[in-house]
Structure 1
Amino acid sequence: MSLPVLSRRGFLAAGLGTALLTLTACGEGAEKAPEGAASPSAPAAGPWSFTDDRGKKIDLPKRPERIVAQIGAAAVLWDFGVRPIAVFGPHKLKDGSKDPQIGDVDLAKVETLGNVWDEFNVEKYISLQPELLISGMYNGDTLWYVPEKSTATIEQVAPTLGVKLFGRSIPNLIAKYGEVAASLGADLNAPAVTGAKAGFEAASKALPTPEARQLKIMVMAGGPEALWIAHFKDHIDVGYMKELGLDVVVPDKVEKTGYWETLSWENADKYDADVILVDARAQSMQVPEMMKKPTFAQLPAVKAGQVYPWRAEQRYSYQGYTAMLEELAANLAKAKKLDG
Structure 2
Amino acid sequence: MPTVPRRGLVALAVAALLGTAACGGTEAPPASAPSASAQEAWSWTDDRGKKISLPARPERVVAQSASAAALWDFGVRPVAVFGPHRLKDGGRDPEVGEVDIAAVESIGNTWGEFNVEKFISVRPDLLVSGMYLKDSLWYVPEESADAIEQVAPTLGVLLGGKKLTEVIERYAGLAAALGADLNAAPVAEAKSRFEAASAQLRESAAARPGLKVMVVTATPDNLYVAYLPDHPDLAYFKELGLDVVSPASPTESEGGFWEVLSWENADKYEADVILVDARAQSMKAGEMAKKPTWSELPAVKAGQVYPWRAAERYSYLGYAKVLEELKTNVDSAKDDVVG
Would you call these one fold, judging by a TM-score over 0.5? yes
Match of 1:47 in 2: 41
Given candidates 174, 198, 203, the residue that maps to 1:204 is 198
Check whether the contact 1:26–1:85 (CA below 8 A) recurs between aligned residues.
Answer: no
2:112 is the counterpart of 1:112: no
Q: 1:191 & 1:27 partners in 2: Cα distance?
A: 30
2:125 is the counterpart of 1:128: no
Given candidates 324, 327, 330, the residue that maps to 1:326 is 324
Aligned length: 309
Given candidates 62, 65, 76, the residue that maps to 1:68 is 62
Match of 2:335 in 1: 337
2:65 is the counterpart of 1:77: no
- 1:66-119, CA deviations, whole angstroms, 9 ceiling, x for partnerless residues? 110011110001001100100000112233322110100001110001011111
How far off is 1:40 after superposition? 1.7
SS of match in other structure, 2:230: coil
Letter in 1 for 2:318: G
Match of 1:150 in 2: 144
Check whether the contact 1:64–1:184 (CA below 8 A) recurs between aligned residues.
Answer: yes
Q: 1:213 & 1:29 partners in 2: Cα distance?
A: 52
Match of 2:299 in 1: 301
Letter in 2 for 1:293: K
Q: 2:148 & 2:208 partners in 1: Cα distance?
A: 46
Q: 2:28 & 2:188 partners in 1: Cα distance?
A: 28
Check whether the contact 1:200–1:322 (CA below 8 A) recurs between aligned residues.
Answer: yes
How far off is 1:223 after superposition? 1.0
Given candidates 132, 138, 154, the residue that maps to 1:160 is 154
Letter in 2 for 1:216: K
Letter in 2 for 1:162: G
- 1:189-213, CA deviations, whole angstroms, 9 ceiling, x for partnerless residues? 1111111111101111110222343
Letter in 2 for 1:297: S
Q: 2:257 & 2:64 partners in 1: Cα distance?
A: 21
How far off is 1:273 after superposition? 0.5
Letter in 2 for 1:203: A
Identify which of structures 1 and 2 has the higher relative contact order when contacts are C-alpha pairs closer than 8 Å and 6+ apart. Answer: 1
Given candidates 281, 285, 289, the residue that maps to 1:287 is 285
Given candidates 163, 184, 194, the residue that maps to 1:169 is 163
Check whether the contact 2:29–2:122 (CA below 8 A) recurs between aligned residues.
Answer: no
Match of 2:212 in 1: 216
- CA root-mean-square deviation: 1.3
SS of match in other structure, 1:113: strand
2:254 is the counterpart of 1:254: no
SS of match in other structure, 1:153: helix
Q: Residues 92 and 213 (structure 1 numbering): CA distance in 2 closer, same or farther, change over 3 Å?
A: farther
Check whether the contact 1:27–1:86 (CA below 8 A) recurs between aligned residues.
Answer: no
Query: Structure 2: which 5+ runs fail to align?
Result: 1-25
Q: 1:123 & 1:61 partners in 2: Cα distance?
A: 24
Q: 1:253 & 1:26 partners in 2: Cα distance?
A: 50
Higher helix content, 1 or 2? 2
Check whether the contact 1:216–1:272 (CA below 8 A) recurs between aligned residues.
Answer: yes
Stretches (4+) displaced over 6 A: none
Q: 1:264 & 1:128 partners in 2: Cα distance?
A: 45
Q: 2:227 & 2:265 partners in 1: Cα distance?
A: 17
Match of 1:17 in 2: none
Identity, % of aligned positions: 61
Check whether the contact 2:28–2:123 (CA below 8 A) recurs between aligned residues.
Answer: no
Q: 1:26 & 1:80 partners in 2: Cα distance?
A: 27
Q: Residues 217 and 29 (structure 1 numbering): CA distance in 2 closer, same or farther, change over 3 Å?
A: farther
Given candidates 211, 227, 234, the residue that maps to 2:223 is 227
How far off is 1:253 after superposition? 4.6
SS of match in other structure, 1:261: strand
Letter in 2 for 1:83: R
Q: 1:332 & 1:212 partners in 2: Cα distance?
A: 8
Check whether the contact 1:88–1:120 (CA below 8 A) recurs between aligned residues.
Answer: yes
Match of 1:266 in 2: 264
How far off is 1:26 after superposition? 4.7
Letter in 2 for 1:298: E
Query: Structure 1: which 5+ runs fail to align?
Result: 1-24, 32-38
Given candidates 91, 94, 97, the residue that maps to 2:91 is 97
SS of match in other structure, 1:213: coil
The range that moved more, 248-257 or 169-178, is 248-257
Q: 1:318 & 1:222 partners in 2: Cα distance?
A: 28
How far off is 1:29 after superposition? 4.4
Larger Rg: 2
Check whether the contact 1:29–1:83 (CA below 8 A) recurs between aligned residues.
Answer: no
Check whether the contact 1:29–1:84 (CA below 8 A) recurs between aligned residues.
Answer: no
- 1:118-168, CA deviations, whole angstroms, 9 ceiling, x for partnerless residues? 110001111111111111111121111111001011001111111111121
Q: 1:159 & 1:71 partners in 2: Cα distance?
A: 18
